[in-house]
Amino acid sequence: MNASIVIKLKAGLLACVWVAIVIISLGSCRQDTEAAEVTISEGVTVPQLLARKTNVGPPEELAQIKKTYADAVTALKNNPRDPKQFLNLATVFITEGRVTGNSGYYSNAALGMLDKVTTSNPSDENIRFEALSLKSAVLLNMHQFKAALQVAEQGEQINGYNAGIYGALVDANVEMGNYDAAVTKCDKMLSIRPDLRSYSRAAYLRQLYGDNNGAKAAMRMAVEAGVPGLESTEWARVQWGDLYLNTGQPDTAQMIYETALSFRPGYPYAEMGLAHVAAARKQYDLAITHTRNAIKVLAEGAFVSYLGDMYQLQGNKEKAMQVYKDLVQQLELGEKEQSRNKVQHNGHRELALAYLNLGDYDKALEHAQADYAMRPDNIDANDLMAWVLFKKGAYKQAVAYTDKVFRTKEKNAALSYKAGLVYAAAGDMQKADQYHKEAAAISAYIDPRIITPVKL
């Protein structure tokens, strides 16, 4: 990324259905949307909108979703070939998938509706463009990053003046490790429509390129551009809090998370923010309480894994291992159950992390390698490979991946501390000391889950 673009981002300065970086939830392991369908006409059916298993979000939000769904079904019964209604249904399913954590809404519902539009070759290019835009968002949520990028590029060819398609292009390029391209697309997005979605992406890119203060400023702009209480706004607010927590300012982070909960009671990502704050203060009982609160609403794999981590830090190793075993079982079951889907969720990263917790480093490496093979230039994929190899004792191999983690000069205490451990284990104490000093300069708090004794 050249300096002029960095400056441009600083001066110019992932949410709604465009947020791509999400982790598969345990609730999605059951493909609930597959069996329930509504018959529109002979040979035409649409997935049913399922009752939510937990109360998430304000009732007005759910009422609007139900109304949009009902209106689309009614309109389709009058005109079973109306592509606009299939798009409306896809939007409903994407929203429900994000809010409830049931990714069956992506694979079995949203994609099905969007395929009805794209395969019918609509004469209206706007309709086709919207279908491609939404499809790229769905593929991103399913971690099919290369396919998402290809679909988003098709959409850009139809309409290069729509901010939404550039959101998908930013996310997909980030996931594929094409960071310079992501910056270019983000600049374009900002020039078209500076709003919550574009500001949040600019914030993430600033963070990736080591500008943590600029990232905080951009994420604040994202929050201020949103409507308090909407899921997208509170998601951005939590990301804003994370930026403060990750730079050693837990008090500010706590205030931001609590604000998110005041606008959206029970919001699971805000509860997890408070769990991280409590853990930073070594208040593990409180961290467990907040984590459980989050899981009650959204049983996301990352949340469940964190619960196991908190039990581990609390000293309850037996309970921690049971949580880790249950998580692996559910993730593996989810992979098997979706095998019949036309497009499957890519869960290699989640499975690698889950097996890492169990201490099954061979299985962790197997999945880490699969994730890396799909996106070898991605920072997270390289970090995961380095960490698994470090755990396996393959220190020299781990160094090769660690070197690629800092290609954008990200200033992240956890990444720097882990790099120090890798270099120390490989015998390069000068670099180890350098990275550990960098970690301490970024944050006085180092996640105790990664503080690992190195046997030299």
Q: What is the CATH number of the domain that holds 148?
A: 1.25.40.10
Per-residue pLDDT tens digits for 358-375 = 999 999 999 999 999 999
pLDDT above 50: residue 11: no
70 in a structural domain: yes
Which pLDDT does position 191 carry in this prediction?
Answer: 97
φ and ψ at 24, to 5 degrees? Answer: -60, 135
Residues 399, 432: Cα–Cα separation, whole Å: 11
> 6 pLDDT band (50/70/90 cuts)?
very low
269 in a structural domain: no
Which range, 57-66, 426-435, 442-451, is most confident? 426-435
φ and ψ at 46, to 5 degrees? Answer: -135, 150
26 in a structural domain: no
Which pLDDT does position 18 carry in this prediction?
Answer: 31
Measure the N-to-C terminal CA separation of the chain; round to a whole number of Å. Answer: 37
Cα R_g (the chain), whole angstroms: 22
Which pLDDT does position 369 carry in this prediction?
Answer: 98
pLDDT above 90: residue 50: no
pLDDT above 70: residue 129: yes
Which pLDDT does position 175 carry in this prediction?
Answer: 98
Q: What is the average per-residue pLDDT within 224-235? A: 96
Per-residue pLDDT tens digits for 319-365 = 999 999 999 999 998 888 776 677 888 999 999 999 999 999 999 99
* Comparison of pLDDT for 439 and 123, the residue scoring more: 439
117 in a structural domain: yes
pLDDT above 90: residue 23: no
pLDDT above 60: residue 21: no
Report the SS3 class of residue 243.
helix
pLDDT above 60: residue 386: yes
91 in a structural domain: yes
pLDDT above 50: residue 4: no
pLDDT above 70: residue 404: yes
11 in a structural domain: no
In this structure, are residues 170 and 193 in contact, taking their beta carbons and an 8 Å threshold? no
Which pLDDT does position 245 carry in this prediction?
Answer: 97
Q: What is the average per-residue pLDDT within 199-224? A: 98
Residues 237, 267: Cα–Cα separation, whole Å: 11
Which pLDDT does position 8 carry in this prediction?
Answer: 37
Q: What is the average per-residue pLDDT within 5-20? A: 33
* Comparison of pLDDT for 98 and 392, the residue scoring more: 392
Buried b (16+ CB within 10 A) or exposed e, 159-189: beebbbbbbbbbbbbbbbbbbebbbbbbbbb
User: What is the domain extent for residue 88?
Assistant: 1-6+38-48+60-159
Average predicted confidence (pLDDT) for the chain: 88
pLDDT above 80: residue 154: yes
Which pLDDT does position 59 carry in this prediction?
Answer: 84
295 in a structural domain: no
> 392 pLDDT band (50/70/90 cuts)?
very high
Per-residue pLDDT tens digits for 247-284 = 999 999 999 999 999 999 999 999 999 999 999 999 99
44 in a structural domain: yes
Which pLDDT does position 289 carry in this prediction?
Answer: 98
pLDDT above 70: residue 47: yes
Q: What is the average per-residue pLDDT within 163-173? A: 96
Q: What is the average per-residue pLDDT within 111-118? A: 90
Nearest alpha carbon to residue 331 among 366, 305, 308: 305
pLDDT above 60: residue 454: no
Residues 270, 272: Cα–Cα separation, whole Å: 5
- What percentage of residues in the chain have a pLDDT greater than 90? 73
> 452 pLDDT band (50/70/90 cuts)?
low
Q: What is the average per-residue pLDDT within 110-116? A: 91
> 212 pLDDT band (50/70/90 cuts)?
very high
Which pLDDT does position 453 carry in this prediction?
Answer: 54
Domain tally for the chain? 1
Which pLDDT does position 403 carry in this prediction?
Answer: 92
Residues 175, 180: Cα–Cα separation, whole Å: 12
- What percentage of residues in the chain have a pLDDT greater than 70? 91
Which pLDDT does position 222 carry in this prediction?
Answer: 98
- Kindly report the pTM of this predicted structure: 0.85
> 120 pLDDT band (50/70/90 cuts)?
confident
The number of helix segments (H) and strand segments (E) in the chain equals 23, 2
